[in-house]
Amino acid sequence: QKEVEQNSGPLSVPEGAIASLNCTYSDRGSQSFFWYRQYSGKSPELIMFIYSNGDKEDGRFTAQLNKASQYVSLLIRDSQPSDSATYLCAVRKVNTGFQKLVFGTGTRLLVSP
């Protein structure tokens, strides 16, 4: 079982719709979860992170965390063509005080005009 699993997509949504991206993780002890956006040919950029169960909103983005189900999601409201990218879910692991990120394979999002 992979540590972080995502559907590779592509997920196609029309402009203005809500895009829902999902991620599951295997380590029940994981504490922190991150969503990165990666445009083709570019490096990952942080969108948002979440630590606590429930929802966290930032502009058009909402991260949702359910630790009991080991499930993280990212909702993008009013999707725009510029949101077309690969969205990477990452789990922070801490070992002897040092952190690292473990990534999923990413979900490719296509927003059509």
Partner 1 sequence: EAGVAQSPRYKIIEKRQSVAFWCNPISGHATLYWYQQILGQGPKLLIQFQNNGVVDDSQLPKDRFSAERLKGVDSTLKIQPAKLEDSAVYLCASSSPGPGNTIYFGEGSWLTVV
Q: Is 105 in the site for partner 1 (CB under 8 A)?
A: yes
Q: Is 4 in the site for partner 1 (CB under 8 A)?
A: yes
Question: Between residues 91 and 111, which has the closer beta carbon with respect to partner 1?
Answer: 91
Which residues, 6 or more positions from 78, have their beta carbon under 8 angstroms from its beta carbon? 16, 18, 60
Contact stretch for partner 1 (CB under 8 A) within 12-20, 63-71, 76-84, 88-96: 88-96
Which residues, 6 or more positions from 66, have their beta carbon under 8 angstroms from its beta carbon? 53, 72
Q: What share of the chain is helix, strand, coil (3-state, %, to 5)?
A: 5, 60, 40
Contact stretch for partner 1 (CB under 8 A) within 10-18, 37-45, 56-64, 71-79: 37-45
Question: Between residues 18 and 46, which has the closer beta carbon with respect to partner 1?
Answer: 46
CB of 15 to partner 1, least distance (A): 26
Q: Is 46 in the site for partner 1 (CB under 8 A)?
A: yes
- Maximum alpha-carbon separation in the chain: 48
Name the one residue in this structure whose structure tokens are 């029309």: 14
Name the one residue in this structure whose structure tokens are 């504490």: 31
Q: Is 98 in the site for partner 1 (CB under 8 A)?
A: yes
